[in-house]
Amino acid sequence: MDDFRANHRRAFLRNAAMTAGGLLLAGTADAATTADGKPAEILNVQSFGAVGDGKHDDTSAFERAIKQARGSGATVMAPRAVYRITRPLHLSNQLMVGQIAGGWAADSIPMPILQIEQVDSPAIVMEAFSSLHGLAIVYPVNATFPSKNPPPAISLAGGGPTISSVRIQYAYDGIITAPGATPGRSRLFDIFMVEPHHTGLYLTRSYDVSQLHNIEIWCNGAMATGAGFQFGRNDDCALTDLFAFNCQIGYLFETDKQPGGGTFYGSLSNCSTDFCSRGCVIRGDHRINLSTSDLVDHFTSLDIDGSEASVRMSNCHIQTNGSPAVLSRSCANLSINNCWFTRAFPKSEHHFIRADHCGSFTVTSCQFDASSPGVLLGSGVKRAVVANNIFESQQPAITNQMPPSARSAIQNNIGPSAAS
């Protein structure tokens, strides 16, 4: 079996499946050997007294297993059951696993469940170089959280965390960077969050190339009061295949003003929204690439306010029903290419794209349906290129309010009201 501390944890989990499968049945700890010949055990929490009936308090058993595993290279393993947890579990430079393989945590929960009863502290605190795989973290559906400083389900308290194949249900916040922590090189993937009360995931002060993949925030009942995904300072962050449903904001980028904070730069690919109030809200001087995404929202899908912000959007479908689909309140650079703009019903009072202030603004090779006027170039736009677009509406394709000192190239647009 590969050393669990190696970078390729998925390879470890594959190779561990045969050994761990026996543990699931036997309920005992089994010794193994790492690449350097040192003992590395898989410690079954049931061997430390965990009952797993959803009634007995299993917190002490998990704490004993975690304490014995810490520093020894051991993995803490929880067989499939329901474990009642009443205090935070602290992981430090170690791995805790539940379901080794199979059973994506979607419409059912085919995995071990941590039934969380404390509401004034996190369920799991992940200190430096910790990993969590194959577990469900579930709060009572009617849990009442403190009005001041309500805790997340998972607190990222150290660098290099890995979270995969995890379900989080009915938490106040799902996964949050702890105050003062720097969770660089975070690897978060295959995560399903059901009805967080506030924010699904907040990642900030991640200085080194974090990657988030296949994470879904699903608010099927009441709309979450915060953002599905929120980001502060993240350096060259890669976001792929994220989805937010019925959130106040799908993706929120805000400047982290705490010590060590700052802005976001990175990319979103196939990161979509559905039924959110607003799709992607950018507040501050962030640098963002957004591509191949579907943003279907009640109000503005891309809302930018940062005097030095730089945003590039390409190959997206944008359906916004009650406001401008794209609104540049303030922006240094905004480029929109090969996107399709639609509405569920006509909205003649709002342009699809409204640029109030922008240093450099381009819209090329896009298609706009007949439900709204096309592009509004406001008096704060300094340079603009609007070219090679298709406007299907009889309403104004391009409304140009730029001052005489501004420079623009408006050409080769097609449609009933388009003009070069």
Position 353 in a domain: yes
Q: Answer yes or no: is pLDDT of 152 > 90.
A: yes
pLDDT bucket at 36, cuts 50 / 70 / 90: low
Residue 34 lies in a domain: no
Beta strand 136-138 with 173-177 is unpaired
Q: Residue 22 — very low, low, confident or very high, per pLDDT cuts 50/70/90?
A: very low
pLDDT in tens, 383-393: 999 999 999 99
In a domain, 81, yes or no: no
Q: How confident is the model at residue 71 (pLDDT cuts 50, 70, 90)?
A: confident
360 phi/psi in degrees, rounded to 5: -140, 125
State how far the Cα of 102 lies from the Cα of 106, in Å rounded to an integer. Answer: 12
Residues facing 156 on adjacent strands: 126, 177
* Structural domain contains residue 417: no
Q: How many domains does the chain have?
A: 1
Report the pLDDT value the prediction gives residue 225, as an integer from 0 to 100.
87
In the block, tokens 């594959």 appear at 14
pTM, entire model: 0.90
What residue numbers bound the domain in which 351 lies? 86-411
- Domain annotation covers residue 20: no
- Residues 6+ positions from 233 with CB-CB distance below 8 Å: 204, 205, 206, 207, 255, 256, 260, 261, 262, 263, 264
Nearest CA to 335 out of 311, 358, 319 is that of: 311
In a domain, 13, yes or no: no
In a domain, 387, yes or no: yes
Look-up: residue for tokens 């404390």? 118
Asked if residue 67 has pLDDT above 60, the reply is: yes
Name every residue whose Cβ is closer than 8 Å to that of residue 40 and which is 6 or more positions away in sequence.
Answer: 1, 3, 4, 31, 32, 33, 34, 72, 73, 74, 75
The burial of 374, by beta-carbon neighbours within 10 Å (0-12 exposed, 13-18 middle, 19 or more buried), is given as: buried
* CATH code assigned at 221: 2.160.20.10
Is 382 a member of any domain?
yes
Closest CA to 309 of 357, 346, 362: 357
